[in-house]
Amino acid sequence: MRRIRIAAILILAVIAATCLLANFVAPDSYAHQFRDIPDAAPSLHHLLGTDDLGRDRFSRLLYGTRVSLLLAPAAALLSSLLAAILGGAAGFAGGWLERCLMATTDLFLAMPWLFLLITVRALLPLDVSPLISVAITFALLGCLGWAAAARVVCADARTLCGSDFVLLARASGGSGFRLLWRHVVPNLTPVLFAQFWISIPIFILTEANLGILGLGVAEPLPSWGGLLRELESFSSLSAQPWRFVPLVLLIVTVSCFHIAVRKQEAWA
């Protein structure tokens, strides 16, 4: 199992490095249109052919993967931070604050994730630039995805507050903030790391779903969701199997994340 994990991490590292270097690796810009060769088959210059608008599919795949691989961790970081603040405060303070915060968490957990997401997405302005749309999409994921993690963090913080070393520190005159900062927060780090890693594949898949439904990142900026929308023209798929490459890459990436975080899941 350890070898498989190392292989998964290596594959992820290669994918991430290739996409981060998209500016150098990609043969063209993601938005450049080769208007004379739309929907072209793979060739030496266009490794995965061109899309309906004549844009190089391989370049779009690299840039799209970069968008998802950079912003999904950013969203996961945001949701983990929110979970740490709200869950940590609830678990540490206890009493009415815990009850109020956990009631809010329950409210978020009871609301169906995708319904809530498209509701909030629909609230936001439509006439935004692609860069803002990508930021909005992933910020929403981060802002709405904290609830489950907050529950775990709260339970952990509560257990920590009742542990011997915290009681001892409290008995030795440790103040509230000092206790929190020196004793509780460092011991919550493994749970937060676990939640962070677990959230990444979830956010990648959610963005892909939103993208396919036309509620994700705006064109011409590519993302996995946008790239997978090409599968909708299924009449030509059997003749153009290379259109499945983004899907294969997505499955490989998410699988690698799942394998790599399996150890973390034990913490969560």
Partner 1 sequence: MKASPGSRIHNLTGHVARMLIVLVLGGFLGATLVRLAPGFGVDTEELDTRLSERSVVALRQSHAMEESLPRFYFDYLSKLLHGDLGVSESLHRPVRELLAERFPETLKSVGLGLALAWLAGLSLAMTSVMSRLWIADLLASLLASILLCVPAAVLALLFVIAEAPGRLAIGLIVFPKVFYYARNLLAQSAGLPHVVTARAKGVSGLRVFFWHVVPVAGPQLLALAGVSVSLAFAAAIPVEVLCDIPGIGQLAWQAALGRDLGLLVNLTMIVTLITLAANSGAELVAQPLRPGEA
**List of residues contacting partner 1 (CB under 8 A):** 103, 106-107, 110-116, 118-126, 201, 205, 208-209, 212-215, 225, 228, 231-232, 234, 237, 247, 250-251, 254-255, 258
CB of 122 to partner 1, least distance (A): 4
Sign, Cα dihedral of 244, 247, 251, 253: positive
CB of 104 to partner 1, least distance (A): 8
Closer by beta carbon to partner 1, 115 or else 177: 115
Three-state SS string over the chain comes to CHHHHHHHHHHHHHHHHHHHCHHHHCCCCCCCECCCCCCCCCCCCCCCCECCCCEEHHHHHHHHHHHHHHHHHHHHHHHHHHHHHHHHHHHHHCHHHHHHHHHHHHHHHHCCHHHHHHHHHHHCCCCCCHHHHHHHHHHHHHHHCCHHHHHHHHHHHHHHHCCHHHHHHHHCCCCHHHHHHHHHHHHHHHHHHHHHHHHHHHHHHHHHHHHHCCCCCCCCCCCHHHHHHHHHCHHHCCCCHHHHHHHHHHHHHHHHHHHHCHHHHHHC
Task: Evaluate whether 184 touches 88 at the Cβ level (below 8 Å).
Answer: yes
Measure CA of the first residue to CA of the last residue in the chain; give whole Å: 19
CA distance 13 to 248: 17
Closer by beta carbon to partner 1, 179 or else 237: 237
Closer by beta carbon to partner 1, 43 or else 233: 233
Closer by beta carbon to partner 1, 182 or else 263: 263
Closer by beta carbon to partner 1, 117 or else 184: 117
CB of 208 to partner 1, least distance (A): 4
CB of 118 to partner 1, least distance (A): 4
Closer by beta carbon to partner 1, 24 or else 234: 234
CB of 207 to partner 1, least distance (A): 9
CB of 40 to partner 1, least distance (A): 22
CB of 13 to partner 1, least distance (A): 18
Closer by beta carbon to partner 1, 110 or else 171: 110
